[in-house]
Amino acid sequence: DSGVTQTPKHLITATGQRVTLRCSPRSGDLSVYWYQQSLDQGLQFLIQYYNGEERAKGNILERFSAQQFPDLHSELNLSSLELGDSALYFCASSVDQLLRQETQYFGPGTRLLVL
């Protein structure tokens, strides 16, 4: 158990809909990262938040957005869903201080199926 929690575990929805994925980082970790894993693309970085502020963006679509709240949990919002958005979505967290505390610990993931 990494200490990172994600809900829900599974999500089935229809095209055009909007969903919200939730992540709670490990206690004391300030950084939260979101990744998407599909069969053909592997693990792809979407976005990072550090202590409530957006820090880095990867290959995140404009239909997707995220935020990190004062209690440090994060939500990933996916809207106007398409079939191709079906994937595993992982959240990771790290302490993100100086002195090489950058190991990212991953949650169990949310499996999204868009029908």
Partner 1 sequence: EDQVTQSPEALRLQEGESSSLNCSYTVSGLRGLFWYRQDPGKGPEFLFTLYSAGEEKEKERLKATLTKKESFLHITAPKPEDSATYLCAALTNSGYALNFGKGTSLLVTP
DSSP 9: S
Tokens of 37: 């894993």
Name the residue nearer to partner 1 (CB basis): 12 or 43.
43
Phi, psi of 85 (to 5 degrees): -80, -10
Name the residue nearer to partner 1 (CB basis): 22 or 111.
111
Among 33, 36, 68, 76, binds partner 1 (CB under 8 A): 33
Q: Please give the span between the terminal C-alpha atoms of the chain, in angstroms, as a whole number.
A: 31
Binding-site ranges for partner 1 (CB under 8 A): 2, 4, 31, 33, 42-45, 48, 55-56, 58, 88, 90, 92, 96, 100, 102-109, 111
